A and B are shown apart, each in its own frame.
Chain A
Amino acid sequence: MSGYKLLFSKVKLCKWTRPLNAGVVRRGVATTPSSYSPRVCVVGSGPGGFYTAQHLVKARQDIEVDIYERLPVPFGLVRFGVAPDHPEVKNVINTFTQTANHARCRFYGNVNVGKDVSVEELRRAYHAVILSYGAEGNRSMGVPGEDLPGVYSAKDFVGWYNGLPRCRELSPDLSCETAVILGQGNVALDVARVLLSPLDILKKTDITQPTLEALAESQVRRVLIIGRRGPTQIACTIKELREMVNLPGTKPEMVAADFEGLSEALKDVPRPRKRLTELLLKTAVDVPGEKEQERRSKASRTWGFRFFRSPVEVLADTEGGRTAGIRLAVNRLEGSGDGARAVLTGEVEDVSCGLVISSIGYKSIPIDSSVPFDSHKAIVPNTMGRVQQTTGLYCSGWLKTGPTGVIATTMNNSFDTARSLVEDMDSGTLDVSAARPGSQSICALLEERGVKPVTFSDWEKINSVETRRGEAVGKPREKLLSVEEMLQVARA
């Protein structure tokens, strides 16, 4: 009897009107659970989570997908990782919004899986659980001085300029002339671009207001982007390199010797690496034409790659309080191509700088002790997205393969996991014959624990406020910067 009451107190529509609403887009309204629908939940609402959900609702007409997200706002790294001056990359949000508004998909924000509800509890409520919570930790350099003021992980620096609530207090000190970035991937170039872009460009993006204020006071005029290996091992892609080369008000400054013998070595290299290296060579070594010469002479900011260097120590100033420089070991390369290794030569070199940003990779962390975790690779051990040694548990996105790749990579990866899950349902490996309560029981648990989920239409309120505030200042949005403010708007 109490279960019956629970059923009808928690839901707004009753069973016999559901067929009329099937296929109709409705937002944030609970529908009566139909007993034999396979129910699946996804943990994480970034590209990993959303692409998995998208594939699942399309693949089977009976599957219902609930997406749980820790923050009140969805979209993960699309919102907090993609650089502010790459707005087209964020268009994927429209696809994700369609998925969230699908009749058989529901979004529950402000739910911390691992703290507010356990993975075990999710596994009891759903036929399958897919972990797509990405990589929120970072790889540390592991060198002395790493904790000095002035040293930041790129993950935190990017989180700061993109308005990630937990990075709000970062307040990086930009009062030095030279900034050093360790790592030469796309994230490193994003950071360099944000440090050196003319403010006129940045102030029209969704970069946060505090960041704009800090950049307006910034003294940074020179950014060195440092890698352990050589020019043909850089991990960035050509689009980002071209953006640096064409960045207004800046000029490249590199060491010609680093590029010796490179053009000959390019003959049999695959096209992406070839084009990238050709652009790099042209920028670093070739004598520029008249127009470019003039542009460079007027540039007030410089950037450059430095190769064959690994960090060994961050050096403090004489008072010992702040970053004053970085000590780098000089390497030589053994082997070539992707497999080339950096080998210490024994030499070291000191570079003066006041800002050190390590961009050497993100790292997944375990969020629940019941989930197997490979701490060496920092992923959940899996085979084609199926978590090893268990059934009904899957993973997708960076948690599955490690934190590399762009949105397209994660998309393929997520579709693969979704296919594995659908295969398991179709073949009977995953038993979906018995009913599972799904969000009904989870929402009841959350209510007992004083946790109130944010629905997708609540997010739309936040979205409206941000867009409106942005319009007033010529930006696509002015992001809300704290969870409290987000919840305030969501509950309004």
Chain B
Amino acid sequence: MAAAAAVRSSMGLTLRLSRVIPDCSSCPLSRSKSCVNSAASLQRNGSFDNCRTINRHLQTTIGLYHSEEGSSNAEDPEDVVNVVYIDRSGKKTPVKAKVGDNVLYLAHKNGIDLEGACEASLACSTCHVYVDSAHFDKLPEPEEREDDMLDMAPMLQENSRLGCQIILTPELDGIQLTLPKVTRNFYVDGHVPKPH
């Protein structure tokens, strides 16, 4: 893991300094079909994006979820979006994300317990999160289908959104996403058991 991180940061450093198209012949992934650069010609000059592949392959998958598009270990400062996930016990997990990352899949990659039962198809409410007030208004309005699914989420609040619909932009830097507390005695009909 440490060696991989060293490789990543050294590559990043080289690119930032020289701003050239990366030399793929030295990269072990260049011959594999999975590297985006091997097939296509390099269109972008000095863009670090072309080496996003490296980051994706050297990362380990956390938990049971498969990796999704978009690296969460960005090195380019303009692309970095700082996100804080707050879990049900109040524990904060800061994550360095990238512009364009999807909040649900970002959570999966960082071991946050945010379920996505319908896989971001607006057919469930399991990725329900609360967005901090400073950033809530910066999100685009939810489409009708998202509002319909939010209506089914337990403990709906004014600042509720579905995580799978939040795509990170630079102005969301510092966003805090809180997972709703589902109480221990959760009865679907709202019944509260009498203490005995």
Chain B positions 143-166 with a Cβ under 8 Å from a chain A Cβ = 145, 147-149, 151-154, 156
Query: Are B185 and A89 neighbours in the complex by a CB distance under 8 Å?
Result: no
Pick the contact of B186: A54, A89, A270, A416 (CB < 8 A).
A416
Distance, CA A415 to CA B183, complexed state (A): 11
**Chain B: which residue is nearest A419 at the CB level?**
B184
What does the 1/0 interface line of A159-186 toward B look like (CB < 8 Å)? 0000000000000000000000000000
Distance, CA A188 to CA B154, complexed state (A): 22
Interface of A is mostly: helix
Tell whether B24 is near chain A: CB-to-CB under 8 Å. no
Tell whether A86 is near chain B: CB-to-CB under 8 Å. yes
Tell whether B118 is near chain A: CB-to-CB under 8 Å. yes
Chain B positions 162-196 with a Cβ under 8 Å from a chain A Cβ = 182, 184-189, 193
Tell whether A132 is near chain B: CB-to-CB under 8 Å. no
Query: Are A91 and B188 neighbours in the complex by a CB distance under 8 Å?
Result: no
Query: Are A406 and B156 neighbours in the complex by a CB distance under 8 Å?
Result: no
Distance, CA A98 to CA B64, complexed state (A): 7
**Do A58 and B63 form a contact, CB below 8 Å, given A272-B151, A384-B184, A413-B188?**
yes
Query: Are B148 and A411 neighbours in the complex by a CB distance under 8 Å?
Result: no
**Do A94 and B119 form a contact, CB below 8 Å, given A102-B64, A404-B189?**
yes
Query: Are A237 and B151 neighbours in the complex by a CB distance under 8 Å?
Result: yes
Tell whether A298 is near chain B: CB-to-CB under 8 Å. no
Chain B residues lying within 8 Å of A95, measured Cβ to Cβ, are 64, 115, 117
Chain B residues lying within 8 Å of A405, measured Cβ to Cβ, are 188
Chain A residues lying within 8 Å of B145, measured Cβ to Cβ, are 239
A239 smallest CB distance to B (angstroms): 5
B187 smallest CB distance to A (angstroms): 6
B5 smallest CB distance to A (angstroms): 22
Query: Are A91 and B123 neighbours in the complex by a CB distance under 8 Å?
Result: yes
Distance, CA A457 to CA B46, complexed state (A): 48
Distance, CA A240 to CA B117, complexed state (A): 18
Distance, CA A384 to CA B196, complexed state (A): 14
Tell whether B125 is near chain A: CB-to-CB under 8 Å. yes
Query: Are A415 and B187 neighbours in the complex by a CB distance under 8 Å?
Result: no
Query: Are B148 and A402 neighbours in the complex by a CB distance under 8 Å?
Result: no
Tell whether B126 is near chain A: CB-to-CB under 8 Å. yes
* Residues of chain A at interface, number, CB under 8 A: 37
**Chain A: which residue is nearest B126 at the CB level?**
A408
Query: Are B151 and A238 neighbours in the complex by a CB distance under 8 Å?
Result: yes
What does the 1/0 interface line of A377-414 toward B look like (CB < 8 Å)? 00000011000000000000000011011111101110
Query: Are A272 and B156 neighbours in the complex by a CB distance under 8 Å?
Result: yes
Query: Are A239 and B189 neighbours in the complex by a CB distance under 8 Å?
Result: no
Tell whether B38 is near chain A: CB-to-CB under 8 Å. no
Chain A residues lying within 8 Å of B184, measured Cβ to Cβ, are 384, 416, 419
Query: Are A406 and B124 neighbours in the complex by a CB distance under 8 Å?
Result: yes
Pick the contact of A242: B148, B187, B188 (CB < 8 A).
B148
Distance, CA A422 to CA B175, complexed state (A): 32
What does the 1/0 interface line of A13-26 toward B look like (CB < 8 Å)? 00000000000000
Tell whether A99 is near chain B: CB-to-CB under 8 Å. yes
B108 smallest CB distance to A (angstroms): 11
Pick the contact of A401: B63, B147, B152, B187 (CB < 8 A).
B187
**Chain A: which residue is nearest B117 at the CB level?**
A92
Chain A positions 409-446 with a Cβ under 8 Å from a chain B Cβ = 409, 411-413, 415-416, 419
Distance, CA A242 to CA B122, complexed state (A): 14
Chain A residues lying within 8 Å of B64, measured Cβ to Cβ, are 54, 58, 95, 98-99, 102
**Chain A: which residue is nearest B123 at the CB level?**
A88
Tell whether A285 is near chain B: CB-to-CB under 8 Å. no
Query: Are A237 and B148 neighbours in the complex by a CB distance under 8 Å?
Result: yes
Chain B residues lying within 8 Å of A58, measured Cβ to Cβ, are 63-64
Chain A positions 214-272 with a Cβ under 8 Å from a chain B Cβ = 237-239, 242, 270-272
Query: Are B124 and A407 neighbours in the complex by a CB distance under 8 Å?
Result: yes
Query: Are A409 and B118 neighbours in the complex by a CB distance under 8 Å?
Result: no
Pick the contact of A92: B65, B118, B182 (CB < 8 A).
B118
Most chain B Cβ neighbours within 10 Å, of A92, A242, A271, A408 = A408
**Do A238 and B124 form a contact, CB below 8 Å, given A54-B64, A384-B185, A411-B117?**
no
Tell whether A139 is near chain B: CB-to-CB under 8 Å. no
Instruction: Identify the B interface with A (CB < 8 A).
Output: 63-65, 115, 117-119, 121-126, 145, 147-149, 151-154, 156, 182, 184-189, 193
26 A-B pairs (CB sep. < 8 Å): A54-B64, A58-B63, A58-B64, A88-B119, A88-B123, A89-B123, A91-B121, A92-B124, A98-B65, A99-B64, A239-B149, A270-B156, A271-B156, A276-B151, A384-B185, A401-B186, A401-B187, A401-B188, A407-B124, A408-B115, A408-B124, A411-B117, A411-B126, A412-B154, A412-B186, A413-B186
Q: What 8 A-B pairs are tightest by C-beta distance, nearest first?
A: A272-B151, A88-B121, A88-B123, A92-B117, A91-B119, A405-B188, A412-B182, A239-B148
